[in-house]
Amino acid sequence: MTTEELKAIKENLLVDSRGTACPGPLLAVKQAIGELESGQIMQILSSDAGTKRDIPRWCNKQGHEYLGDFEEAGVHTLYLKKA
C-alpha cells in the first residue's frame, strides 16, 4: 500500500507506543490486539525504528495481515488487520 492509501485507512484502534524502546512497542501491540475483532484495523505509532521490521514478522507468526507503514518526523506509523 502507498502512504496515501495507508493514510486513508480508518483505524479501529490506535496504539501509541511512542517513547518506549524495544520490546515496548511489540508488547503494547500484543496487549492491544485482544481489543480488536477479526477484520478490524490497528494503527501503531512508534518512535523505535526497529518496530517496522518487528511487527510484520509478528503478524506473520500470528496470522494477522500487515498493511504497511510510513515515517514522518521520526515517527513510524504502522497498520495491521486482525485475522
Partner 1 sequence: MDIEKQILELKAKVDKLEKGTKDQISIVVFSGELDKLLAALIIATGATAMDTEVKLFFTFWATAALRDKKKKANGKNFMSKMFGMMLPKGSTKVKLSKMNMGGMGTAMLKSLMKKKNVASLDEMLKTAGQLGVEINICEMSMDLMGFKPEEMIDYPNLNYCGVGSYLADADESKVQLFI
Catalytic residue among 22, 27, 75, 83: 22
Residue 3's contacts (CB-CB under 8 Å, 6 or more residues apart) are: 70
Q: How far is the CB of 68 from partner 1 (least distance, A)?
A: 20
Is 59 among the catalytic positions? Answer: no
Among the residue ranges 8-16, 18-26, 34-42, 70-78, the one whose residues contact partner 1 (CB under 8 A): 18-26
Residue 26's alpha-carbon distances to 8, 18, 33, 44, in angstroms, are 24, 12, 11, 10
Q: Applying CB under 8 A, which residues contact partner 1?
A: 19-24, 26-27, 29-30, 58, 61-62
